Amino acid sequence: MVNTRENLALVVEYEELLRYCPMLEVDPKTVQELDRHTLQVLSNTARSNLARQRELQRQGIAQAKAQGVRFGRPKAKAPKNFAGIVQAWQEGQISRTEALQQSGLSESTFYRYLKKLREQG
């Protein structure tokens, strides 16, 4: 079999799809020796398996969300004495670094809660 650009493109596409569908794995040397039709069949199979996997994943995520499952990292909570820490910081009794350490929050989270505190009054 002569390797044409079309066959080479199919080999590349097939190898790309293998990352998502490893069950279709064939030795790379064998892939290069397969005819165009066989490569198309393998590529279409891999593509359809990938689409099915993604659809099942979408359905699973939707089902989990419907059941109230939350995804991602949990939000950091401000300590109960956050207002006191902020007041001490604003009055100059403690430094910004000390306020961050006492609150146990990152700088951006600290300022986000500070903004909320100011909006509440």
Dump pLDDT digits (tens) for 58-70. Answer: 999 999 999 999 9
- Averaged pLDDT for residues 10-25: 66
pLDDT reported for residue 69: 93
Dump pLDDT digits (tens) for 90-114. Answer: 999 999 999 999 999 999 999 999 9
**Confidence class for position 28, pLDDT limits 50, 70, 90:** low
Q: Higher model confidence: residue 75 or residue 39? A: 75
Q: Which tokens go with 46?
A: 């891999």
- d(C-alpha 37, C-alpha 41), whole Å: 6
pLDDT reported for residue 103: 92
Dihedral pair phi/psi, residue 34, rounded to 5°: -70, 155
Percent of the chain residues past pLDDT 70, beyond the cut: 75
